[in-house]
Amino acid sequence: MHRLELERAENQQVQRPFEQFGWMCWHRDQLRYRRSIHHDGRRLQFPPAVRRASTLWRRCQRIDYDAHLSHLHGRRREAAGPRGPAKGSCSSECLGMPFTAQGAMWALIAVALAVASPASAQTSPRQRLSALVPQIERNLRENVVPFWFPRSVDREHGGYTVHYGPKGKELPGGTKMIVTQARTLWLASRLLRAKVAEASLREAADVGFRFLRDHMWDQEHGGFYWEVDPTGQEVRGPHKHLYGQAFGLYALSEYYVATRNREAMELANRLFDLLEEKAWDREYGGYREFFARDWSAAPAGERPYVGDEVDQKLMNTHLHLLEALTTYVRAGGRALAKERLAELIAIQTQAVVRKGWVACTDRYERDWTPILDAAGARVSYGHDLENIWLVVDALEALDRPTAPYHDLFRELFEYSRTYGYDEEAGGFYDSGPPKKAADRRGKIWWVQAEALVSALQMYQLTADASYADVFEKTWHWVDTHQTDWESGEWYDAIQPDGKPREANKAHPWKAGYHNGRALVEVLERMASLSARE
């Protein structure tokens, strides 16, 4: 689908004659990134068919700026004589027919305006989105859910088996990490609440909860271990990291919401109290992240499980604390949790946003001074897009309006769309340097998942059809390329050459949490949109 970015005027029509367009980007380098017409600062994005035509045209000739101005003013250049066609025209050999520069330019404008015209739209954005519901339901019920449940449930030792090869075959060995165990418990609980395969998912959720309670919870010092062996009897990662604690709180809270198991809520309360006592940073706000097993300061120079330095704070960790506290508040947790959630909203909309870029970076000193070395001065499009909808969710949990944040959300989304979105095929790339095109151009499974929810969230907030277009195109990418319909689940990554990366389908850092959550969120939001029609 094409993308139309115009000011919100009646019928979204360009009402001025062609001659008032200020200029056109026909230079090869500009066409590569911005195949568009500029009109008083507004941009009309050509649809794929027109972009393909412009690609053919570039192979013929390049139109320089002077030739374009001459054409707009009705002036003609003299023919080039025996050397060949004049600059700004094309010989018949290029496309097998007479094809002048001027004719090509006006043909492209006419097609672009015809496609962009509201009269040409067959369906509304809501109708197009609604038409995707059967595909999304199929992806969830026939691809993602059966890959994980009940097959991942470890009935012998408890918890979940999360080691599967590229073709979905279970791999021997492997440890059990709090992040993946909690994410899978969360997913089972969320699917249970969404009434997807209730009976089998209740068993899966119960098994996961008991494993967290009996084997991953530190009975002496409190909090969750980072990692245990497959049986749960041997602790492999005794230190405490807030990244893992966040997912523990997230899973316990969602499990309680789905089952009303009071024991889960009691454990969630104990964890929240522990984080308040040991990890909340009274001086600078947010949370300190890495501790020894007994919650004392981790030795200086020891590398944390996530991040680079003991005293660093990560946007990533605080993003997951945000989602955890949002669910904990909704579950009826401690009253103080609302204050901490409001603080995290401020961090995720202020402290981690680089004002000159209107994009987020990940690494910070304890006092929230950004670390912008070569590794730190990067933008993760997936985290920025995820941040948008998780902040909206947190605001709604606190019954606070979202309108004061809409401009920020638009700018965050636009940054990722400008530098990290594949206009041709759909989907978002991994990451890139500030205010430059993505240089890590693989399409990671979780980035696409968060992009789907974020695009739909932005459409819900603004009714701007361009967000629906991004959603639609990204969904088609996911369902066609990212989803493994033969072996199940989504591919870890699709490489720039279009081939899936040869990687395990599941491992300690890849569970069904991102894509499973995205599909449930999208379906529920689609139902909400339909109910308002």
The full DSSP string for 105-167 is HHHHHHHHHHHHSGGG--S-HHHHHHTTHHHHHHIIIIIIHHHHTTTTB-TTTSSB---B-TT
Per-residue DSSP letter, 303:
P
The domain locations on the chain are 4-120, 125-532
Element (H, E) at 518: helix 513-532
| pLDDT number for residue 531 | 80
| pLDDT number for residue 81 | 42
Residue 332 exposed, middle or buried by CB count within 10 Å (0-12, 13-18, 19+):
middle
pTM: 0.79
| pLDDT number for residue 533 | 66
pLDDT per residue as tens, the chain (533 positions): 433 333 333 333 333 332 333 323 333 333 333 333 333 333 344 444 444 444 433 433 333 333 433 443 343 333 334 434 343 334 333 333 333 445 554 445 444 444 444 433 469 999 999 999 999 999 999 999 999 999 999 999 999 999 999 999 999 989 999 999 999 999 999 999 999 978 789 999 999 999 999 999 999 999 999 999 999 999 999 999 999 999 999 999 999 999 999 999 999 999 999 999 999 999 999 999 999 999 999 988 899 999 989 999 999 999 999 999 999 999 999 999 999 999 999 999 999 999 999 999 999 999 999 999 999 999 999 999 999 999 999 999 999 999 999 999 999 999 999 999 999 999 999 999 999 999 999 999 999 999 999 999 999 999 999 999 999 999 999 999 999 999 999 999 999 999 999 999 999 999 999 999 999 999 999 999 888 76
Q: How far is CA 164 from the centre of its chain?
A: 24
Lookup: tokens for 303: 């590398």
Lookup: tokens for 482: 């990212």
Separation in Å, CA 25 to CA 35, 68, 131, 293: 7, 10, 35, 59
| pLDDT number for residue 464 | 98
Q: Which fold has domain 125-532?
A: Glycosyltransferase (1.50.10)
| pLDDT number for residue 116 | 46
CA angle, residues 191, 195, 198, in degrees to nearest 5: 85
